[in-house]
Amino acid sequence: MPLNFDKLLAAIARHAQTLTDAGAVADYIPALARVDPSQFGIAVAGLDGSLYCAGVAQRAFSIQSISKLFALTLALQREGDALWQRVGREPSGTPFNSLVLLERERGIPRNPFVNAGALVITDVLCQRYLQPERAVLEFIHRLLGRSTVAVDAEVARSERAHSDRNSAIAHFMRSFGNLRGQVGAVLDAYCAQCAIAMSCAELAQASLFLAGDGCQPRGARVLDPQATRRINALMLTCGAYDAAGDFAFRMGLPTKTGVGGGILAVVPGRMTICAWSPRLDATGNSIAAAAAIERFAAETGVSIFGGE
């Protein structure tokens, strides 16, 4: 890693801070709408154990759809390739909470990162674990090597109380036989998983196995190399929903975003980057966090398409 990484991140944070006025905080639940929108943080974790931070990189925020990465990894550990009979691998080109493709495609969601796909993954975990949200949390603790992460109970409650659309998606898929458990139990687990709170530093460190071909630094194997590369492929093509093409164009890296304002990016073989700022664009992706990762990639030359 370059020696002046601290300076680079400080400059990126200063610039990103000027972008925090644009866009709007997710307001579909009151618990998220209350967050201070002027915050920005960024963390870069290296496979060599290094960690570089700027802004509020240690402050926990609602990881929301970034949790879909951990749930998918856990489900793949348990189910292997059988999972792909119930979830597709194509970008949807639709918003994360869209229902439109589900009827035509007979209850098989386009990919594991749209809500429909994540609900199927949660259903898989519900069949495997008595407390699936606990299983996701404990999995994150194992990845981090410490038990510092928790579900924000208020966000989870609020999310569950406003889950009409996810409930509709789940019922619809159940009518096609692609949801095995009870919709209520799947929604409980899904809403709790979305309400996990983590900092940029924690998210970058917990996801290093995605840069490490399936292994955490100094840790045991999490996933086999092929499955890990496939998750990265899905992040590149589907991780930012209907902005995935634009993100791939701007950053050249696999990313996963959440409506809490977090964006996680993977530089295979090298590092992970997590940036956070609460205000979102129309596709539900953080404006300042996306700009920060784009600038980081441009200034360091990291890209999965070559460079450096």
Which of 116, 259, 275, 287 forms a contact with ligand GLN (CB under 6 A)?
259
Binding residues for substrate: 65, 115, 159, 166, 190, 241, 259
Q: How far apart are CA 134 and CA 131, in angstroms?
A: 5
Q: Say whether 190 is catalytic.
A: yes
For residues 280 and 287, is the Cβ–Cβ distance under 8 A? yes
The closest residue (CB) to ligand GLN is: 65
DSSP state letters, 174-191? HHTT---S-HHHHHHHHH
Q: For this structure, is 65 an active site residue?
A: yes
Among 158, 166, 205, 232, binds ligand GLN (CB under 6 A): 166
Which listed residue (207, 241, 267, 277) is catalytic? 241
What are φ and ψ of residue 102, in 5° steps?
-65, -35
- Of 202 and 213, the one with the shorter C-beta distance to ligand GLN is 202
Number of residues that bind ligand GLN (CB under 6 A): 11
Nearest to 295 by CA among 270, 271, 268, 273: 273
CB of 29 to ligand GLN, least distance (A): 8
With respect to ligand GLN, which residue has the nearer C-beta, 52 or 70?
A: 70
Q: Which of 239, 261, 268, 284 binds ligand GLN (CB under 6 A)?
A: 284
DSSP letters for 49-70: S-EEEEESTTS-EE-GGGHHHH
Site for ligand GLN in 216-245 (CB under 6 A): none
Nearest of 2, 45, 13 to residue 265 by alpha carbon: 45
The residues in 112-151 that bind ligand GLN, with binding defined as CB under 6 A, are 115
Active-site hit among 25, 67, 68, 120 = 68
| Contact between 178 and ligand GLN per CB under 6 A | no
Q: Which of residues 64-83 bind ligand GLN (CB under 6 A)?
A: 64-65
How many of the other CB atoms lie within 10 Å of CB of 56?
A: 18
| Residue with Cβ nearer ligand GLN (47 or 72) | 72
Active-site residue, selected from the candidate residues 44, 136, 149, 190 = 190
Nearer to ligand GLN, 54 or 264 (CB): 264
* 259 has catalytic annotation: yes
Catalytic residue among 25, 52, 56, 65: 65
Q: Which amino acid is at 128?
A: R
Report the residue from 52, 96, 247, 296 that binds ligand GLN according to the rule CB under 6 A: 96
Task: Check if 186 is active-site.
Answer: no
Helix axis angle, 225-238 to 67-79, nearest 10°: 140
Q: Does 205 bind ligand GLN (CB under 6 A)?
A: no
Member of 17, 77, 94, 97 binding ligand GLN (CB under 6 A): 97
How many angstroms separate the Cα of 303 from the Cα of each of 32, 56, 57, 174, 235? 32, 25, 23, 40, 14
**H or E segment and range at residue 273:** strand 271-276
Q: Which is nearer to ligand GLN, 29 or 76 (CB)?
A: 29
C-alpha span between 69 and 18 (Å, rounded): 29
Cα separation, 138 vs 66, in Å, equals 16
* Catalytic site includes residue 7: no
Amino acid of residue 180: R
Please identify every residue annotated as catalytic: 65, 68, 190, 241, 259
Contacts to ligand GLN by CB under 6 A = 64-65, 96-97, 115, 159, 166, 194, 258-259, 284
